[in-house]
Structure 1
Amino acid sequence: MSLQSSSSRPSTPLAGIIRQARVGVFQAEAAKLAVQLSLTEKEMATLLAMNLRTFQRRQASDKLDSVASERLALLKNLTNHGLDVFEDQQKFNRWLRQPLRVLTSEDDPGSEATPLATLDTATGYRLVDAILTRLEHGVF
């Protein structure tokens, strides 16, 4: 898995993600990334493991808790990796919302999840990053 992309876009080393989680990241960074990824407030709150109302009440200068800060750092890294693979923000944003067969649940073979829908868990971040790595190397 490549949470540390060997790309031209900056990626936060895993130790840096731990540090960011412990120190906290400002709400303004979450809002900025939400705009970049064309996410609604509800989607961003879900990705950060936050209640929507809590997310909406926070000021730009408020720091996120350790869980939300870690998720935001993971999302930033994933975004950088996606931009390396797709070389276009809009293409990456569309891909995040595209149902993928590889994300089909064994419990429900008729449904295909989107990469975005899997990012509500840490395992989802790892899985989507692994898919991006496969795309990057032409494995799909």
Structure 2
Amino acid sequence: MEAGKVINLVQEPEVFYRIQNKYDRIISVLGGSTQVSQVVNSDIDLIKITRKGLPTSVVSTLSKVLGISMEKMSNLLHISHRTIQRKGSNDLLNVYSTEQILEIADVISRGIEVLGTLDNFTAWLHSEVRALNYAKPLDFLDTSFGTKLVKDILGRIEHGVYS
């Protein structure tokens, strides 16, 4: 991997598992550094990206990573599917959608770290979880409180607490 270039999880999943930097993993989930068009080394950089907006094309990338339809993805972002379709792939999303996408990417990164592979994580994400009253973690990714709850459960799993 070239210095300063972050790979794309969808295209090179085996390389993703060797990435140690939290920010590089998040950018990889979103389609790599060319997709995000900014180097990310800190939470300050994530805030800058949030304020600027991510390109609409990351919505499609994220739906593929999660194994969900674009309709479901648009529901997680509280944007109509038609609105996403109307936008060009380089059009920027608003602050709220960008922030939700970054939070979801962080959950995916954390989930892969805890559960070992993207396949294990997505299987868990689509399963009914006791700690969520037998609801699917995927259904909680539409709010910041929900993403925090899912990350908390992943932390409990990592520490061997039955969840």
- Aligned-partner SS, 2:142: coil
For residue 68 of structure 2, the aligned residue among 12, 36, 39 is 39
What's the TM-score, normalizing by structure 2?
0.72
Count of matched residue pairs: 127
The answer to whether the 8 A contact 1:9-1:80 is kept is no
Give the structure 2 partner of residue 138 of structure 1.
Answer: 160
Give the structure 1 partner of residue 127 of structure 2.
Answer: 98
For residue 8 of structure 1, the aligned residue among 20, 36, 43 is 20
Gap regions ≥5 residues in structure 2: 1-18, 27-41
Give the structure 2 partner of residue 65 of structure 1.
Answer: 94
Instruction: Kindly report structure 1 stretches of 4+ aligned residues shifted beyond 6 Å.
Output: none
- Structure 2 Cα separation of the partners of residues 100 and 15 of structure 1: 33
- Structure 2 Cα separation of the partners of residues 14 and 45 of structure 1: 25
Give the structure 2 partner of residue 25 of structure 1.
Answer: 54
Give the structure 1 partner of residue 137 of structure 2.
Answer: 115
State the Cα distance separating 1:99 from its structure 2 match: 0.9
Gap regions ≥5 residues in structure 1: 1-6, 105-111
Give the structure 2 partner of residue 82 of structure 1.
Answer: 111
State the Cα distance separating 1:9 from its structure 2 match: 4.9
State the Cα distance separating 1:14 from its structure 2 match: 3.8
* Structure of higher RCO (CA pairs closer than 8 Å, 6+ residues apart): 1
For residue 129 of structure 1, the aligned residue among 141, 146, 151 is 151
State the Cα distance separating 1:126 from its structure 2 match: 0.5
- Structure 2 Cα separation of the partners of residues 15 and 134 of structure 1: 27
Percent identical: 30
- Structure 2 Cα separation of the partners of residues 58 and 94 of structure 1: 31
